[in-house]
Structure 1
Amino acid sequence: MNKRLFLLSMRACTLLLLMMAQAACSDKGDGPRPDTEPPEEQPGPSILKEKANFGIGAAIKTAHLAELAYANTVKSHFSQVTAEWEMKMELIWSSATGYNWSNADRVVDFAKDNDLEVHGHTLVWYKSFPGWFKNAGYDSTAFEDRVRAYIQTTVGRYKGRVKSWDVANEIFNDNGTLRSTDCPVFATFNDPIGFYGRCFKYAHEADPDAKLFYNDYSVVLASAKRSAIKRMVSRFKNEGIPIHGIGDQFHYRVTTDKNTIKNGLTDMASTGLLIHLSELDIIVNVQQSESYAFTQAEAQKQADMYRFIVESYESLPADQKFAITTWGVTDKYTWLTDYWHAKEYPLLFDQHYQEKEAYRGFLAGLKNN
């Protein structure tokens, strides 16, 4: 090896030794170590209940709570629950000899164990009077005495554990007339609205802190029904009857007119009461077709409607926004499949409990997102 090559080799060895020494010192010191620093933690998915300034509810069924994915989805994403069926009169008061609280207790216990609020649904509904009661032939006095006992026993049992109740459900037809052909109340009382007003009083006596609601469907769409509800609210206020809110079930479609929704919500809020979107789901299979395909385009239409509804709700006065409750948790168990006898995908989570575009649309509609 000639002298020039020897010197170059020595310089290279010296440089290599210096680099190794610097690396060793760096490992012992406080200098930056870009190759060994852990990546920055990425934010997790946005959760609806953490982004909303009002209740985010889901209707639940006790039959599904044993399914871990179902229960975990409820606990993770929602702040309150409504019993889809378990707190209706028909189940609790199935026998004239006493009450069966087992399923209602399971709903309330599940909520308590998981720091969830409970909205009670529903105390008096024409479809949930038990058969034995409807066929008993009570006169108006006996009828009301039995209903009063039921309301006060039920509300009293859950005092402090159920924060709100739908006291009366679906009194009016869409044209604003009373639902007189299929409800035993209207065959028994000369003044059915007066009877329902007293039901609100009975519930209030049993739990003075509970918020009390009237609940119905198509409130924002059917102007005649909405006007009838507003007249009832005015009467209740004038008579000192405790009514705190109105619920619209919001079983609407991707094709429902948006201006009608927006204007109807504004009109509901003119009562000054709390507003609850109480049973929200968005129907996509509007023709109830067995060949319907829930495509990405359909999913986006549904997401757009969810976003519009939430944005419209957010535009209401802050002190009137009670909650938005979806009528179910997952498309796997939607009531609409049985009701329509057709495919339907109306909720925020798919059959595998994955967030849908609908979920992201709902989230996008929230002010705090």
Structure 2
Amino acid sequence: MRKNSFKSLAVALSVLLTALMVCSSMVSAATPTGKRLKDVQSRVLVGTEFSSGFTNMDSTFFNTATPEFNLVTAENCMKWDALEPSQNSFNWNEADKLMNWAKTNNYKVHGHTFVWHNQAPGWIQNLSASAMESAMNNHIDKVMGRYKGQIPIWDVANEVFEENGSYRNSFWYRTMGKSFIEKAFIRARAADPSAKLVYNDYNLEYTGPKSNAAYEMLKDFKSRGIPVDGIGFQMHLDIQYAIDYNDFAKNMQRFADLGLEIYITEMDVRVSSNTNSTELQTQASYYKNIIEKCMAQPAVKAIQFWGFTDKYSWVPGTFSGRDNALLFDKNYNPKPAYYAVQAALATSPTPTVIYGDLDGSGSVDALDYSLMKQYLLGSITKFPSENGLVAADVNASGTVDALDFAVMKQYLIGLITKFPAQV
């Protein structure tokens, strides 16, 4: 009896020590080395997504996520079916929880989303054109009115194009035509003039029919004064499909040349469900190369991941045989992708100054001509360039002086076609 007691005690102690070692290992693994992602640099916001019911997550979820990011998007609780399930009857419970959590933890919130063909309640889908527009206006007014001045970025329109570049045949499009998009932006600007208004879509990173269609739509909006501030690249990637990183950079640049801010809104990189170390290294390279290109583009204002741990991910339920797309594994251990992102965020090269590029977009375009004209006429006294007035030093003398004004004037009236100094 006594011998068996010692044996039982030894077994119990062994189990306890094993449990302690596992717990110790998990705590250590959940705290990656180096600076937290949001602290590596200060130029862009670094964000994640929280699902509904996030307040019920385990403590490791919050201990891992909270120090890493400074921007959060709601996966579902700010979508139409969650906020307004029946007409003019709003449910603010989950959205308010997210707002309160963000305020407590010094996070900014990226609002998501107003007009979308998915997750829209049935009552909105069968209205007449005038009734649908009225309902859309009311929804935008009520939601943006509640959070006015608290949500700095909103996805106003989401996924309105097919892969071939045609407008998606959604209930919005069938009922209101393509005008529903610009009407939503106009209403959103009136509801909260301080918010950045974004068009958000997937597969925009590749130049092609879909990206071209989005570009032409936004170019048209800008030319007609439709209030749009940014383009959202969702960036749901998979290592099965190659990406031309230089093409991605050029694609971002053309949107930036429209005067748009760029937001990476929902990034993840899928690998197989039975992931091996080679796949994880490939995944890390995708994250690294994309984010390095983003950090080299001044128009990029935020980089967000669609979650942070593989424990809570939309991927396996949507893509058969694919999983493990995020920066932390299901046990909250940082993956090679995490350290790739950490390193890439630190690579923020000084942008090349192109003389005459007054808005810092990377090229001399129509907006620069307009700014030069306003400056010459005295309508503005400073250029809104990240590089300051030095960007208007067109003769590279080191100061902005009368000669620069003369050169700009010649450029404006077509006497010269190039500035006499570039770097």
Q: TM-score range by the shorter chain?
A: 0.7 to 0.9
The equivalent residue for 2:206 is: 221
C-alpha contact 2:222 2:228 (8 A) present in aligned 1 = yes
What value does the CA root-mean-square deviation take over the aligned residues?
1.7
C-alpha contact 2:48 2:307 (8 A) present in aligned 1 = yes
Kindly indicate whether residue 60 of structure 2 is the aligned counterpart of residue 80 of structure 1: no
- In the alignment of these two chains, the number of paired residues is 313
Instruction: Provide runs of 4+ in structure 1 moved above 4 Å.
Output: none
Cα distance in 2 between the residues matched to 1:65 and 1:358: 26
Q: How does 1:9-20 map to 2 (within 5 A)?
A: none
Cα distance in 2 between the residues matched to 1:63 and 1:358: 27
Q: Among residues 157, 161, 164, which one is paired with 1:168 in the alignment?
A: 157
The range that moved more, 258-267 or 58-67, is 258-267
Question: Which TM-score applies when normalising by structure 1?
Answer: 0.81
C-alpha contact 2:45 2:71 (8 A) present in aligned 1 = yes
Kindly indicate whether residue 46 of structure 2 is the aligned counterpart of residue 56 of structure 1: yes
Letter in 1 for 2:242: T
Q: How does 1:311-350 map to 2 (within 5 A)?
A: 311-317=292-298, 320-350=299-329
Q: Among residues 188, 210, 235, which one is paired with 2:175 in the alignment?
A: 188
In structure 2, do the counterparts of structure 1 residues 200 and 179 end up closer, same or farther at CA, with 3 Å as the change threshold? Answer: same
SS in 2 for 1:282: strand
C-alpha contact 2:124 2:135 (8 A) present in aligned 1 = no
Post-superposition offset of 1:365? 1.0
Post-superposition offset of 1:206? 1.2
Post-superposition offset of 1:198? 1.5
Cα distance in 2 between the residues matched to 1:169 and 1:45: 36
The one-character-per-residue Cα deviations of 1:42-75 (angstroms, maximum 9, x if unpaired) are x962211001320101011132333211122221
The equivalent residue for 2:140 is: 151
SS in 2 for 1:294: coil
Letter in 1 for 2:285: D
The equivalent residue for 1:211 is: 196
The equivalent residue for 2:394 is: none
The equivalent residue for 2:415 is: none
The equivalent residue for 2:341 is: 362
Post-superposition offset of 1:364? 1.3
Letter in 1 for 2:189: H
C-alpha contact 2:49 2:306 (8 A) present in aligned 1 = yes
Q: How does 1:261-276 map to 2 (within 5 A)?
A: 261-276=248-263
Cα distance in 1 between the residues matched to 2:186 and 2:65: 32
The equivalent residue for 2:35 is: 46
Cα distance in 2 between the residues matched to 1:74 and 1:201: 35
Kindly indicate whether residue 244 of structure 2 is the aligned counterpart of residue 258 of structure 1: yes
In structure 2, do the counterparts of structure 1 residues 326 and 345 end up closer, same or farther at CA, with 3 Å as the change threshold? Answer: same
The one-character-per-residue Cα deviations of 1:165-194 (angstroms, maximum 9, x if unpaired) are 0000000111110001xx1111112x41x2
Post-superposition offset of 1:293? 2.5
Unpaired segments of 5 or more residues in structure 1?
1-42, 286-291
Larger C-alpha radius of gyration, 1 or 2? 1
Cα distance in 2 between the residues matched to 1:333 and 1:204: 34
C-alpha contact 1:64 1:70 (8 A) present in aligned 2 = no
Unpaired segments of 5 or more residues in structure 2?
1-31, 349-423
C-alpha contact 1:274 1:322 (8 A) present in aligned 2 = yes
With CA pairs under 8 Å and 6+ residues apart, which has the higher RCO, 1 or 2?
A: 1
The one-character-per-residue Cα deviations of 1:25-55 (angstroms, maximum 9, x if unpaired) are xxxxxxxxxxxxxxxxxx9622110013201
SS in 2 for 1:334: coil
The equivalent residue for 1:297 is: 278
Cα distance in 2 between the residues matched to 1:219 and 1:86: 25
SS in 2 for 1:323: strand
The one-character-per-residue Cα deviations of 1:184-219 (angstroms, maximum 9, x if unpaired) are 111112x41x22112111111111110000000000
The equivalent residue for 1:248 is: 233
The range that moved more, 244-253 or 267-276, is 267-276
C-alpha contact 2:205 2:211 (8 A) present in aligned 1 = yes
SS in 2 for 1:331: coil
Post-superposition offset of 1:339? 0.7
In structure 2, do the counterparts of structure 1 residues 149 and 335 end up closer, same or farther at CA, with 3 Å as the change threshold? Answer: same
C-alpha contact 2:53 2:94 (8 A) present in aligned 1 = no
Cα distance in 1 between the residues matched to 2:50 and 2:196: 20
Cα distance in 2 between the residues matched to 1:165 and 1:125: 13
The equivalent residue for 1:105 is: 96
Letter in 2 for 1:284: V
| Percent identity of paired positions between Structure 1 and Structure 2 | 35
Post-superposition offset of 1:149? 0.5
Post-superposition offset of 1:156? 0.8
Cα distance in 1 between the residues matched to 2:54 and 2:265: 20
The range that moved more, 208-217 or 122-131, is 122-131
Post-superposition offset of 1:222? 4.8
SS in 1 for 2:67: helix
SS in 1 for 2:47: strand
Cα distance in 2 between the residues matched to 1:257 and 1:321: 19
Cα distance in 1 between the residues matched to 2:343 and 2:33: 16
Cα distance in 2 between the residues matched to 1:176 and 1:270: 21
The equivalent residue for 2:121 is: 130
Kindly indicate whether residue 264 of structure 2 is the aligned counterpart of residue 283 of structure 1: no
Post-superposition offset of 1:97? 5.0
C-alpha contact 1:65 1:71 (8 A) present in aligned 2 = no
C-alpha contact 1:70 1:329 (8 A) present in aligned 2 = no
Cα distance in 1 between the residues matched to 2:244 and 2:271: 15
Post-superposition offset of 1:343? 4.8
Question: Which TM-score applies when normalising by structure 2?
Answer: 0.71
SS in 1 for 2:180: helix
Letter in 1 for 2:135: R
C-alpha contact 2:222 2:258 (8 A) present in aligned 1 = no
Post-superposition offset of 1:368? 5.1
